[in-house]
Amino acid sequence: AHTPAARDRGSASPTPITQLDRETIKIADRTHPPQIRRDDVQRRVVIEANVVGRDMGGLVAEIDRRIAEEIDLPAGYSVVFGGQFENQQRAQQRLMIVVPLSLGLIFLLLYFAFHSVGQALLIMLNVPLALIGGVFALWVSGIYLSVPGSIGFIAVFGIAVLNGVVMVNAINQNRVGGQDPRTAVLDGARSRLRPVLMTALTTVLGLAPLLYATGVGSEVQRPLATVVVGGLASSTLLTLIVVPTMYAFFSRRADLAVGRPSVNQAEKTQP
């Protein structure tokens, strides 16, 4: 047997309960009417705890792992995580349906705005570019994907698509003005460089304090900020490089046309 211990916030080592200051903590035994709780016709014992300073998904995963490694449950016993974690799991299942539908609606809006499947797909290319940075940021920080992280992905997807719209629209305006595809792409990327960078920079600076949050609510703030900052870092950098490059590469295809043939094609068709 061992002496029960409690961990002091100001100390890295646990302190035995027998050595705690009686003025600081009060321990008392109380009796109450016996209760038998059941769930799905099975008896259950509820253990409640508050999560502070950690993401809920990561904590539950660690608890589940340590139970499997260190505790041999008797036959007929099982451990089920409920409460806010159960609600979070349900919310993630709903997001698995809502997010694809939202991306589909965004694609339709882009198609109706630009009247081109190719340009709509080119703008939607920013979504996986943002996904790369968000997933990498979660992996580096060791944070599990949670509902706040999923909401962060939705936010960064919107910003990434907006940057793509700004970039493609600027190139289209140059093409309509008579520029050849290569010049239109270079001028469009150069003119949109500052707006795209300022959008990403202001968002990252605004969320930077949340990356180091440790107080109450940090388990919600840190995953969201981590995803948005990582997603913006990758999508902004790749948007300024990949989107103009892909536009120039496919500029001669009909699906990326802006309603008229390219300059070179127009010269060839003249008598």
Task: List, for residues 184-208, the tens digit of each pLDDT value.
Answer: 888 888 888 888 888 888 888 888 8
The span from the CA of 145 to the CA of 61, in Å, is 12
- Give the Å distances, CA to CA, from 123 to 108, 159, 243: 12, 11, 8
Whether residue 198 lies inside any domain: the answer is yes
Residue 64 confidence (pLDDT) above 60 = yes
Whether residue 25 lies inside any domain: the answer is no
| Total-model pTM | 0.64
**187: helix, coil or strand?**
helix
Residue 5 pLDDT class (50, 70, 90 cuts): very low
Query: For 155-177, what is the mean pLDDT?
Result: 88
Query: For 88-117, what is the mean pLDDT?
Result: 84
Q: Percentage of the chain surpassing pLDDT 70?
A: 79
The amino acid at 93: Q
Residue 217 confidence (pLDDT) above 70 = no
**42: helix, coil or strand?**
strand
Q: Which residues lie below 8 Å from residue 180, measured CB to CB, with a gap of 6+?
A: 262, 263, 264
The pair phi, psi for residue 47, each rounded to 5°, is -115, 120
Query: For 120-148, what is the mean pLDDT?
Result: 85
Residue 93 pLDDT class (50, 70, 90 cuts): confident
Residue 14 confidence (pLDDT) above 80 = no
Max CA separation in the chain (angstroms) = 101
Most confident of 24-38, 65-79, 101-115: 101-115
CA atoms within 13 A on the CB side of 13: 2
Whether residue 27 lies inside any domain: the answer is no
| Paired residues of 5 in beta bridges | 16
Domain extent, residue 245, equals 84-264
Residue 52 confidence (pLDDT) above 60 = yes
> Tell me, what's the pLDDT at 108?
92
Residue 260 confidence (pLDDT) above 50 = no
The more confidently predicted of residues 157 and 63 is: 157
Most confident of 26-35, 131-140, 249-258: 131-140
Whether residue 270 lies inside any domain: the answer is no
- Give me the CATH number covering residue 168: 1.20.1640.10
Whether residue 164 lies inside any domain: the answer is yes
> Tell me, what's the pLDDT at 261?
42
Whether residue 107 lies inside any domain: the answer is yes
Whether residue 14 lies inside any domain: the answer is no
Residue 239 confidence (pLDDT) above 60 = yes
Structurally, how many domains does the chain consist of? Answer: 1
Whether residue 35 lies inside any domain: the answer is no
The pair phi, psi for residue 41, each rounded to 5°, is 60, 25
Supply 17's token pair. Answer: 């309960």
Residue 25 confidence (pLDDT) above 60 = no
Query: For 145-171, what is the mean pLDDT?
Result: 86
Residue 220 confidence (pLDDT) above 80 = no
